[in-house]
Amino acid sequence: MASPTSGIVDIHTHMYPPSYVEIMEKRTTIPIVRKFPQASDPRLILLEEEVKSLEDALKDPQAKVPGRPLTTHYSSVQQKIHFMDTHGIRKSVVSLANPWLDFLDASESPAIAKKINDEFSDLCGQYPRRLFFFAALPLTASLEDILSSVEHVRGLKYCRGVILGTSGLGKGLDDPRLLPVYKALAEAKLPIFLHPHYGLPSEVWGDRAGEYGHVLPLALGFPMETTIAVTRMFLSGVFDEVRELQIILAHSGGTLPFLAGRIESCVVHDGQLLREGKLAKSRRTVWDVLKEQIYLDAVVYSPTSLKLAAESSGADRVMFGTDHPFFPPLETDEQGEWESVTWNTAAIRKATEGKSAETEAILGGNATRVLRLDEE
Ligand code: 5CU
């Protein structure tokens, strides 16, 4: 077992606290938790691509079980600490997993947000200096309620930012109605942790998608969703309008580091943008925003990709993450080491070989500095 004092910080690690699991148990559509006679653990069904297998399993007890097993890794804080100790992780910034509060009615989301954020705060309080959290916002509620929620979470001792999906108030993150929320978050010094959930429309995966398991929606749909969301933010001018806004992108920014050059080229070759006066010499490029307002997690599983992330944003802006409890080992004991974690630590060490200050920074130093994890 690795030492829990090695200074590794995990900023991409999720939980569904018990009250959120209870909500999912009562639901009839995704996100849903259901028991099936053909499986010992209850199943957690989250993604649009899993709906067909949910329907099949409800009709036929011989059918393949849908979703993933809802093990203690999803909802037990003791299990989180065990996982951290097993992988030498000293501190974690835990967040509610997708789809957060996106599916709740406006009449209930503010109260549920408060309850869940308080629950996260209490869980962190059980392990001071080891656990912090990104809060969830009730984005289906009124602007007034969302801003009250920001006020509430900024007062919670262990809160270090908010986790946000890409839907915003229903029209994406370039929606001007979100500007007051971005301004409130910037003013409260709460970074956004931007995380995908919706992927791409199922049709793009083709007729044979069922043969390929979760690979297409998770390996490609998730990162493209993030890339599109943050590019829309960039094009709409959000980053110029709210210069203090800080955003951490899941999965190393999706494909943003790889596509930033192409985005820039498309911008400067667009006649409409030129006519509208949006191509002034003084404009900030995607590269500027990547280096000034964007942080990237290191959940990318490859030294080649990690080098690109670190070069795009700066090695001082990339932060280790695990995506726990997703991607457990399939053939070894879940209480032992997870390959989905060791791939990422190995990628960081390889990508920063010979530059130990960068290795330490990405594994924990950056998160500690940016998210104030040495303060209690
Ligand atoms: O396996 C999955 O579906 C997921 C998910 O839903 N959310 C996430 O963060 N990682 C994997």
Task: Dump pLDDT digits (tens) for 232-246.
Answer: 999 999 999 999 999
* CATH architecture classification, 8-17+75-370: Alpha-Beta Barrel (3.20)
Residues 6+ apart with CB under 8 A from 119: 17, 18, 19
Q: Which of 214, 294, 218, 216 is nearest to 252 (CA)?
A: 294
Instruction: Tell me the mean pLDDT in the region 138-161.
Output: 98
pLDDT of 40 > 50? The answer is yes
Ligand 1 centroid to residue 198 C-alpha, Å: 10
pLDDT of 2 > 60? The answer is no
Verify whether ligand 1 is closer than 6 Å to residue 297 (CB atom).
no
Q: Which residue owns the Cα nearest ligand 1 atom 2?
A: 326
Cis amide bond preceding 110, omega within 30: no
For residue 38, what pLDDT is reported? 84
Half-sphere exposure of 280 (CA within 13 A, CB side): 6
Task: Dump pLDDT digits (tens) for 283-296.
Answer: 999 999 999 999 99
CA distances from 338 to 88, 227, 257, 327 (A): 12, 27, 27, 8
Half-sphere exposure of 125 (CA within 13 A, CB side): 8
Residues 6+ apart with CB under 8 A from 355: 315
Using pLDDT thresholds of 50, 70 and 90, give the confidence band for residue 4. very low
Diameter over CA atoms, the chain: 64
Residues facing residue 161 across a β-bridge = 134
Instruction: Tell me the mean pLDDT in the region 306-331.
Output: 98
Domain with CATH 3.20.20.140 in the chain: 8-17+75-370
Using pLDDT thresholds of 50, 70 and 90, give the confidence band for residue 372. very high
Verify whether ligand 1 is closer than 6 Å to residue 46 (CB atom).
yes
Ligand 1 centroid to residue 101 C-alpha, Å: 15
**Looking up tokens 């590269």, which residue turns up?**
287
Specify the ligand 1 atom closest to the Cα of 14: 9
Ligand 1 centroid to residue 79 C-alpha, Å: 18
Verify whether ligand 1 is closer than 6 Å to residue 326 (CB atom).
yes
Specify the ligand 1 atom closest to the Cα of 47: 3
Using pLDDT thresholds of 50, 70 and 90, give the confidence band for residue 343. very high
Ligand 1 centroid to residue 279 C-alpha, Å: 38
Residue with the bigger pLDDT between 345 and 61: it is 345
Verify whether ligand 1 is closer than 6 Å to residue 371 (CB atom).
no
Instruction: Tell me the mean pLDDT in the region 69-85.
Output: 97
Task: Dump pLDDT digits (tens) for 264-283.
Answer: 999 999 999 999 999 999 99
Ligand 1 centroid to residue 280 C-alpha, Å: 40
> What percent of the chain is predicted at pLDDT more than 90?
96
Ligand 1 centroid to residue 316 C-alpha, Å: 26
pLDDT of 126 > 70? The answer is yes
Residues 6+ apart with CB under 8 A from 107: none
Using pLDDT thresholds of 50, 70 and 90, give the confidence band for residue 375. confident
List the structure tokens of 173: 């993150």
Verify whether ligand 1 is closer than 6 Å to residue 323 (CB atom).
yes
For residue 100, what pLDDT is reported? 98
Q: Which residue owns the Cα nearest ligand 1 atom 8?
A: 326
Mean pLDDT of the chain: 96
List the structure tokens of 21: 């699991």
Verify whether ligand 1 is closer than 6 Å to residue 163 (CB atom).
no
Amino acid at 10: D
Instruction: Tell me the mean pLDDT in the region 255-268.
Output: 98
Ligand 1 centroid to residue 326 C-alpha, Å: 6
pLDDT of 376 > 90? The answer is no
For residue 1, what pLDDT is reported? 41
